[in-house]
Amino acid sequence: MKSLPLVPVEAFIFGASEPRRNDMENWSKRTRAVHAGTRRSQYGEMAEAVFLTQGFKYDSPEQAEARFIESGRDEFIYARYGNPTVAMFEDRIAALEGTEDAFATASGMAAVNGALTSMLKTGDHVVSSRALFGSCLYILEDILPRFGVEVTFVDGTDMDAWRDAIRDDTKAVFLETVANPTLEVIDLAAVAEVAHAKGATVIVDNVFATPVFSDAVAQGADVVVYSATKHIDGQGRVLGGVICGTQEFIRKTVEPYLKHTGGSLSPFNAWVLLKGLETMDLRCTAQAQTALALASDLEGHEKLEAVLYPYLASHPQNAIATRQMSAGGTVIALDIKGGQDAAFRFLNALEIVSISNNLGDSKSLVTHPKTTTHQRLSDEQRAQLGITDGMVRLSIGLEDVSDLLDDIQTALSMI
């Protein structure tokens, strides 16, 4: 049986269609987040279709052969290589991020690993900030050196340290623009300038800054990586990740590595994330407004040693944060007086905020990094990163700000 005639594809991809009155390049991020990358079948469905299929049928052996030689962006072979729903998600996030292309992955870690491993080989040198998400640190500290990649760690806020560490032969620079859980902010433009002078590729894990509040490519990032699990889903449902970069990097370096090693995103998860992108701006903007209000109200509280939030004037890198990000993000860190005991009493007393180590959810979440996400580190490493016994990380959700403030203040009073 032959397939139906090829489905008309209404593709809003950079350069894919003839010029339109409203060419996507002129659209704002909010409009791109709703329309970019859309592909429609012959049924004209409004909501994007979930193409929950592993394989794709060819009309003839000649067509199969041709596709294995070279397949276009809308010619699919096998879901590990690509899928229409996944392609819609990739094109939409690339349009938002302002990169030529993107490759979607099964999780944020598949994206971080894919971006680094696909481009590195034995003998290469990498410079990375030290304050990293635990699994990112594991890749840079344990896995890459096992394959003969040399990694130098620096304090990301110390520009002299970056200048000293980046060498003529440095292949890549890796950083999280806003560090977890201390919320230190790294000056991306300054690091990129040093890296580019030596020809190094700048890879940014941009989860905490979010695609909404940052413009990492304009500030010098060559490759931007997201855990889509966080704000892109935004409702705590699926795992996913994405690598954004030039078409050359994505299709010639990243895709061959990931399509053969198996880190591809499931079409169902791609659909959830695609719909997540449509509301991401509204959600993140509301969450960041609540985070700033809470951080401001809690600053100076008698039970707190410190309140850390990039948009507070007291934040050590506040000037960089306000220049680099259009809002302070959706995460706050509190340093509670009285160490771990006091922090645990605070967590146990919270009623609206749930104890969970995830972030970017519409539900507010709290975690104690020392005993969970950063448990693996030595006391010395934690001290170096500024992770105290009393530190808790709050991921602010979509609840009402006064309900959250009440919950947090009541829990603080019960310590």
Ligand X SMILES: *Cc1c(COP(=O)(O)O)cnc(C)c1O
DSSP SS3 for 129: strand
Q: Residues 5, 6, 10, CA angle at the centre, nearest 5°?
A: 130
38/205 with CB nearer ligand X: 205
Burial environment of residue 171 by CB neighbours within 10 A (0 to 12, 13 to 18, 19 or more)? buried
27/138 with CB nearer ligand X: 138
291/342 with CB nearer ligand X: 291
| Residue (of 277, 322, 278, 257) closest to 105 by Cα position | 257
Rg (CA), the chain: 22
Alpha-carbon distance of 298 to 309, in angstroms, equals 11
Alpha-carbon distance of 206 to 175, in angstroms, equals 8
247/372 with CB nearer ligand X: 372
Q: Give residue 160's identity as a one-letter amino acid code.
A: D
Smallest gap from residue 175 Cβ to ligand X (A): 10
Q: What is the DSSP letter of 360?
A: S
β 201-205/223-227 pair status: parallel
385/412 with CB nearer ligand X: 385
Q: Residues 80, 274, 28, CA angle at the centre, nearest 5°?
A: 130
Smallest gap from residue 107 Cβ to ligand X (A): 3
Smallest gap from residue 349 Cβ to ligand X (A): 26
Residue 18, CA distances (Å) to 9, 36, 57, 88 in order: 13, 15, 28, 18
Smallest gap from residue 246 Cβ to ligand X (A): 22
- Residues near ligand X (CB under 6 A) are 107-109, 112, 133, 135-136, 176, 180, 205, 207, 227, 229-230, 239, 241
Smallest gap from residue 358 Cβ to ligand X (A): 8
Phi/psi at 225 (nearest 5 deg)? -115, 140
Smallest gap from residue 395 Cβ to ligand X (A): 10
Alpha-carbon distance of 189 to 192, in angstroms, equals 5
Smallest gap from residue 201 Cβ to ligand X (A): 18
156/241 with CB nearer ligand X: 241
Smallest gap from residue 116 Cβ to ligand X (A): 12
Smallest gap from residue 136 Cβ to ligand X (A): 5
11/366 with CB nearer ligand X: 366
Tokens 């481009």 identify what position?
119
Q: Residues 89, 93, 95, CA angle at the centre, nearest 5°?
A: 120
Burial environment of residue 74 by CB neighbours within 10 A (0 to 12, 13 to 18, 19 or more)? middle
120/411 with CB nearer ligand X: 120
- Asked if 203 and 115 touch (Cβ cutoff 8 Å), the reply is yes
239/396 with CB nearer ligand X: 239
Please give the residue whose beta carbon sits closest to ligand X in the complex: 108
